[in-house]
Amino acid sequence: MNLLRCGTVFDPASHVTLPAILLATLLVSFPVAHRACGEQTAAPEAASADAADERSSQDNLLRKMTTEGIELTKDKSFVLPEPSFVSITGEPADSPSAMKALETLAGRHGVSRFTRDSVVAPISVKTDSIKNDEGDRIGHFIDVAFVVHQSIAEIRKSEALEDFKSDPDSPEKTIELSDQDNPEELEKNKTRSLTKQELADFNVTLDGQYEALGYLQMPLLSKVVVRGVARARRSIWSTEDETAPIILTWLLDSRFGSPTPDPESISNQWRAIERNSVGEKELGPPHPYAGMGGYVAIAPVPGQEQASIIQLRFVLHEPHDWFDGRNLLRSKLPILIQDRVRNLRRELQD
């Protein structure tokens, strides 16, 4: 079972890639800020024993996402709605509110069908365009919810969440993407951990044991490659009650942004996939990129403690030059999400 670990958010057939945990669960492996299989994360600074999540942090990603929003452009941010079944401070929703939220998500399918233990149980997927003040689409908000028949305690004990833990005793391991401009490698989803030197170059430190940073490569529709550093955090994680709801956040890290990104650096950037004079794929010049991230909230299904409802909300900035203004992603995302959720449910049955 692999909720948030070494998966992929890419559709091998269509080369669609979603941002993160499906954001982890689905998406996340889209490129998420987790380390790749078998790789180690650069050792963080020592943390206090009670630093299980970011609630006490002054730099609280979840709070920022749901109050100030995620910045897509200099003049446009998108505020994520708070989770339906748990507050951003970790308090579970009361029973009437939780049941009402569940009924809303189930919609025409009804609660019984929406929560049944089946690979093909309904999934709630909503996508909305994010527009600037001129009315131009600059991104997407994706809102996903579905039920898995595994308790939160079981999910916590699995390997699924290992990538949201930083081990201070892990040895540093340098991993080079020496073939990052190889035409055969451009459309492959890749993640790797950062080295201590890379962290030092950007004057960045990890925040204790609840954060992970990772360099990612994310191709989209054979048109664009996004590269940069993603930040993943345990935002809500109780050390006293393993059945309590949890929230994980993921964000392309602005600390690694640059107005003029170097194609050889780990700076956040996007590059068009082009064809040269002999028809081989190559990358165009780098452009600065920001505005990708969100959260995954996991809570007990009302009245069914051995089942969990997973709610994913995230945004994806889409510069006009990606697809010349065509709304290609919106038609691809629901299909990909449905496929990833069904695969996840199959894994959980094993």
How confident is the model over 258-276, as pLDDT tens digits?
Answer: 999 999 899 999 999 888 8
Look at residues 21, 46, 18, 22 and name the one whose alpha carbon lies nearest to residue 33.
21
Tell me the percentage of the chain whose pLDDT exceeds 70. 76
pLDDT band for position 20 (cuts 50, 70, 90): very low
More reliable by pLDDT, 35 or 225: 225
Look at residues 142, 170, 150, 265 and name the one whose alpha carbon lies nearest to residue 215.
265
Look at residues 59, 35, 57, 40 and name the one whose alpha carbon lies nearest to residue 48.
57
CA dist., res. 124 & res. 114, Å (int): 9
pLDDT band for position 5 (cuts 50, 70, 90): very low
* Helix, strand, coil share of the chain (percent; to 5): 25, 30, 45
Q: What is the mean pLDDT of residues 173-192?
A: 60
Annotated domain spans of the chain: 10-43+51-349
pLDDT per residue over 285-343, tens digit each? 999 999 999 999 999 999 998 999 999 999 999 999 998 888 888 888 888 888 888 88
Q: What is the mean pLDDT of residues 242-247?
A: 94
Average pLDDT, the chain: 79
The pLDDT score that the predictor gives to residue 286 is: 95
Coil, helix or strand at residue 217: strand
- Residue 130: count of CB within 10 angstroms of its CB: 20
pLDDT per residue over 98-144, tens digit each? 999 999 999 999 999 999 999 999 999 999 999 999 999 999 999 99
**Burial category of 120 from C-beta neighbours within 10 Å (exposed 0-12, middle 13-18, buried 19 and up):** exposed
Question: What is the distance of C-alpha 295 from the center of its chain?
Answer: 7
Q: Is the pLDDT of residue 9 over 80?
A: no
pLDDT band for position 210 (cuts 50, 70, 90): confident
pLDDT per residue over 38-91, tens digit each? 343 444 443 343 568 888 888 899 999 999 999 999 999 999 999 999 999 999
Tokens of 320: 């006009």
Question: What is the distance of C-alpha 50 from the center of its chain?
Answer: 25
